[in-house]
Amino acid sequence: MPKRLTQKHIAQLAGVSQATVSLVLNDAHAALNRIPDDTRARILKIIHDTGYVADPIARSMAKGLNRILGVFTYEPAFPSAQADFFAPFLLGIEEEAQRQNYDLLLLTSAGIGEKRKIFNDGNRLRLADGCLVLGRQFNRAELKRLVGGDYPFVAIGRRENAGGKVPYVGGDYAGGTKALVEKALSLGHSRLAYVGPEGPAESVSDRWKGFSQSLGGDAQLALHISAVGQPPADTLDALLASGSTAVFFNELADAIKVEAVARQRGLAIPADLSFVVLGRHIRPQETAIQFASFNIPREEMGRQATAMLIRRIEASEPVQQILLPCEPVEGETLGPVK
């Protein structure tokens, strides 16, 4: 008996072709209907008696799979400035891929900056059985091309339809924002401010949607500063002039800078002005302040998106669109109106 059994040896022992053994091993139902039951039973008995274990690489090739998942980002994944955004997603992706015996291919040959594209000349997309795509903003033309093609992919983060439904796993930013606005209203706030744009990225527009749709009745928008990164002193002056009692920041960096200026002027947060940040970041060392916020389930988004992609690859699962809840974080910067 050879040191390592192969399908060829099993075929010789069973007196059948290697192709027949391969069909039995890969459970090819349509073809098995043409294989006599006694032949199939004989092959299975020989496999059992000899202790044969199929080569997983050979089996995946027989099914047309490399057992590789591509991961594409529209921004570099590892620079320190991006670490708080990408690291948890990548952790969830890696854990689920490992659990399901898939390898990962990080697609880094797709260009730099605005030239970074999924379909860039010379990229290795087709080495992977399917691809996970993540980033703050997507190239709309490429997204439409993915939707119209036959290549399995899943977006991490909600994406608008692009000539068809986009499969995705995202966070419910609108619901998370709405819960924080309702909390502010319950504490007596009625003049609310918003610092951040209305879009165009879905993650941004969802936050604005959750905020704006929660207004009404006694609650009103006292101030909207659509640009981010403005001089913090100017932002604070505008907030105080508007009579706002609670301000919602789309970006943590803006909240940190404005809070620091407020403290320098002797204002107390939240006694004099409440601060809310729409999404919790994972770098607590950036500030000692625990802002009222909501948790973004980044790792779970990565895990569920990976599992969805594998189902699409292995079972041609129809398009699904899943939003995971973003649970409120109480923090220390949202309090009752004086």
Predicted local confidence at residue 128, as pLDDT: 84
Tokens 């390898």 — which residue?
Answer: 103
Q: Confirm whether 68-172+299-327 and 173-295 share one CATH topology.
A: yes
Task: Work out the percent of the chain whose per-residue pLDDT is above 90.
Answer: 48
Q: What is the pLDDT of residues 154-202, one digit of tens each?
A: 999 999 887 789 999 999 999 999 999 999 999 999 999 999 999 888 9
- Domains of the chain, by residue range, sit at 7-62, 68-172+299-327, 173-295
Tokens 């594409």 — which residue?
Answer: 72
The Cα angle at residue 242 between residues 257 and 278, in degrees rounded to 5: 45
Q: How far apart are CA 209 and CA 181, in angstroms?
A: 12
Task: Work out the percent of the chain whose per-residue pLDDT is above 70.
Answer: 81
Contact 333, 188 (CB under 8 A): no
Is the domain defined by 68-172+299-327 classed in CATH 1.10.287.130? no
Contact 214, 221 (CB under 8 A): no
Q: Where are the alpha helices (DSSP H) in 171-297?
A: 173-186, 202-212, 232-242, 252-264
Residues 6+ apart with CB under 8 A from 98: none
Could you tell me which CATH number the domain at 7-62 has?
A: 1.10.260
| Domain 173-295 top-level CATH class | alpha beta
Tokens of 254: 């803006």
Q: How far apart are CA 309 and CA 73, in angstroms?
A: 16
Q: How far apart are CA 306 and CA 77, in angstroms?
A: 17
Predicted local confidence at residue 94, as pLDDT: 94
Q: How far apart are CA 128 and CA 70, in angstroms?
A: 5
Cα distances (Å, whole numbers) of residue 103 to 73, 124, 154, 313: 17, 15, 16, 14
pLDDT band at 293 (very low <50, low <70, confident <90, very high): very high
Fill in the DSSP letter of residue 194: E
